[in-house]
């Protein structure tokens, strides 16, 4: 999705094949850990390019067909890292990028609500996925993650999927601009 033309191409292909674009889910991301002083511009841009720029390009590409049909749903996958700084891992670029996704979601929701296009985001916490596996298996990180999560466990992908289904379904037709946190209570502390 870092290819600047990919979102336009995929959107066009979806509309040609299915006749409309009803739901867009932006679910891609990269997290790079490390001391901020060691982050060079290339590493920073790598994170921002996928986590922020690609999300915006996909949202922008979806606007024409959604406006033409008079409705649509955009769901951006943010992170609790856009709300709370994770510890013990240092990840300034990832945290900053996910905070940007949350604000992008709110800004687009405000702009598009009158056009019957809803825009929301999910902010998952530590979920048992390939992206989190290194931390879950890390004997230093995982006990801290578990102890800081009131529910005392990592989440499961189906728990995130259920929230995504709700935000994309008619059951949430009066919900826009929300960032739904799914983190076992991590951000309550």
| Active-site residue (options: 94, 126, 174, 186) | 94
116: left (phi over 0), alpha (psi -120 to 50) or beta: left
Does the annotation mark 94 as catalytic?
yes
CB-based contact 70:64 (threshold 8 Å): no
d(CA 35, CA 165): 37
Strand order in the sheet with 117-124: 23-26, 72-77, 117-124, 179-182
Identify the three-state secondary structure at position 174: coil
**Is the torsion defined by CA of 44, 45, 49, 52 positive or negative?**
positive
What residues are annotated to the active site?
Answer: 94
């Amino acid at each position: 999705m870092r290819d600047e033309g990919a979102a336009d191409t995929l959107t066009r292909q979806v509309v040609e094949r299915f006749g409309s674009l009803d739901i867009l889910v932006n679910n891609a991301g990269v997290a790079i850990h490390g001391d901020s002083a060691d982050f060079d511009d290339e590493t920073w841009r790598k994170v921002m390019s996928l986590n922020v720029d690609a999300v915006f390009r996909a949202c922008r590409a979806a606007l024409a067909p959604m406006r033409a049909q008079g409705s649509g749903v955009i769901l951006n996958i943010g992170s609790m890292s856009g709300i709370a700084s994770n510890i013990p891992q240092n990840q300034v670029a990832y945290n900053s990028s996910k905070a940007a996704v949350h604000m992008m979601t709110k800004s687009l929701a405000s702009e598009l609500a009158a056009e019957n296009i809803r825009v929301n985001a999910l902010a998952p916490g530590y979920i048992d996925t390939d992206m989190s596996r290194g931390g879950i298996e890390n004997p230093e990180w995982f006990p801290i993650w578990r102890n800081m999560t009131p529910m005392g466990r990592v989440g499961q992908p189906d728990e995130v999927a259920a929230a995504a289904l709700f935000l994309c379904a008619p059951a949430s037709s009066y919900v826009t601009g929300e960032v739904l946190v799914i983190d076992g209570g991590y951000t309550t502390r």
